[in-house]
Amino acid sequence: MCGIVACAGEDVGDLAVAGLQRLQYRGYDSYGFAWVNEEKGVIQTRKSVDSLDDLQDQLPRCNAVLGHTRWATHGGVSVENCHPHSARNLEFSLVHNGIVENYQTLKETIVTPAYVSDTDTEVIVRLLEIALKTACSRPEALRDVLNRLDGRNTIVVLFSDGEMLGVREGSPLMLGKASNQYFLGSDVFSFARTTTVCCPVAQRHIVRIKDQRVEMFDETGEPCEIEWVLAELPETDVGRDGYPHYMLKEIMEQWQTVSRQGMLAGTDLDNFVQELKHCGNLLVTGAGGAYFACVQIAWLLRELAGFRVLAVPAYEIDSMKPLYKPGDFLLAISQSGETADTIQAIETATAWGMRVASLVNMPMSTLAFLSEFSFANHSGPEICVLSTKSATAQVTFGYLLAKSLAGQNDTGEHIDKLSSALSRYLTDTTSRELQELAASLLPTHNLFILGRGLFYGSALMAALNIKEASYFHAEAFAAGELKHGVIALIEEGVPVILFVDKDDSYMLNVASEVKSRGARVIGIAYENNELFDDFICMPTLSDPLLATVCGMVPCQLIAYHLGVHAGINPDKPRNLAKSVTVQ
């Protein structure tokens, strides 16, 4: 959830600020920095619950600095609960990403003066204070502390003499290097503008940066080799390009990102398809919006290729064991590649003997390393908490996979036409039209979305986006459920969004049924109908199945404008973070 950045080298304060700004999607409740004042030989800190974007004066000149952007799990949003947290004698400061699941028990066993925060992280500080008194070395003390913690925890410590230690268990940590500079970060984008030479820190390995040197120690404390690799990163500029919010920027650039996803076809995909055909059984999993993408992908694989596949939320995978055997495949989907529930699902499936493939947007993520086959979205950094361009890229991948399984090799032409159609659709004119529609919806505070077949997943994703961006009550249902209870919720003036495919008389009957009960019918369709009170036109496509991608776009814009009209920053919805690294 939280974001960590650490820099060591000559005058790295500005690099730390820039790196942390690129990590705000991981949590934005508060931020903080700790650095070494070398003249005085002490650690100084700066903490704030304001936006990091509002940081007026940069950090003073320093050669070692920690930064942290927080998503609150224990303790409210306050300066006292901001990271970094410091030792009482200011010997060190540390930052933490994760949850200490046994922090209450540990807190009871530590005899110490009153705690100054409500966080579980402060327990780590107190444990490290104690461990440093008896351990033979700082890495040994940090390892002793890690051994006492339950849960997924990543810790980076800065000592007053400039030495840094980093360790991970579960939550991600990347090591990077440039000329006379070293970096630690929650992902490679945190230091991508400075270097792409990096090393993913392995589980329970400790990194030590000291005197312009870096060392790594394995689980037993023995030195081990650092395996540097070159990360192939997409464009890492995280500016808004003149848009008022990242969400709008990321929606409007989807004509490019689906095109990049369409270039995926190659040897790796061909090999994966051959292995899938051999085993004949697939489980697709994810959490949140990624799970709704799984619903779309599973439908495409069944419809196009007749393939045996189910979608299941990552946190419900245990119930699938009777249906799958060793050698079957699990396809895990996650924008960040660090979603804790999805990583747990992979570990569970691997224990059953299943083989693993993944689809991620973040290079060198944990899911990618755990997978036999790993595929990338190529969507670039997605800063807004809501999944927009990553979601359409995920479903585009599902289309590519389904077509390949079906032995149809005409995907390139269809995706090129999809990209062209979206480039014509994603205009200021379309945005303004949906802005007006959103403004008219705001007083109702209630919305239902119905879809079926290829649009069922689109409806689920639409409701999630609207809830996240605007706190508007939006619920999605399979259209067939209408007469089995949902229709009791329809009353005079309530808006109902319907996804209507070409020549879909079933959905037109649904429109008639809700309209007869007073609903305001909003049709997302290829052509208008007298039953629609409002009509949102979808672009015509060379392959109608790609409407699974286009169908998500109008409701993304409705969600965005609902949030803006409600006075909410849709990039930073309350209580949410982009990368859910805790369970």
Amino acid at 414: H
Question: Is residue 2 annotated as a catalytic residue, yes or no?
Answer: yes
Q: For 250-405, list the strands marked E by DSSP.
A: 282-286, 309-313, 329-334, 355-360, 373-376
| β-bridge partners, 181 | 9, 178
Choose, from 47, 467, 515, 578, the residue flagged as catalytic.
578
Q: How far is CA 229 from the centre of its chain?
A: 23
| β-bridge partners, 213 | 210
Q: Looking at residue 105, what DSSP letter applies? A: H
Question: Is residue 198 annotated as a catalytic residue, yes or no?
Answer: no
Amino acid at 246: Y
Query: Which residue is listed with tokens 């004042």?
Result: 37
Enumerate residues 6+ apart whose C-beta is below 8 A from 254: 388, 389, 392, 422, 426, 553
Choose, from 2, 7, 550, 555, the residue flagged as catalytic.
2
Enumerate residues 6+ apart whose C-beta is below 8 A from 126: 110, 112, 115
Give the closest residue to 68 by CA, choosing from 33, 37, 43: 33
Enumerate residues 6+ apart whose C-beta is below 8 A from 261: 377, 378, 379, 393, 396, 397, 400, 415
- The Cα 329–Cα 354 span in angstroms is 6
Name the strand (E) or helix (H) holding 563. helix 552-565
Q: How far is CA 524 from the centre of its chain?
A: 28
Q: For 193-238, list the strands marked E by DSSP.
A: 197-200, 206-210, 213-217, 223-224, 229-230
Amino acid at 437: L
- The Cα 565–Cα 380 span in angstroms is 28
Catalytic residue numbers read: 2, 578
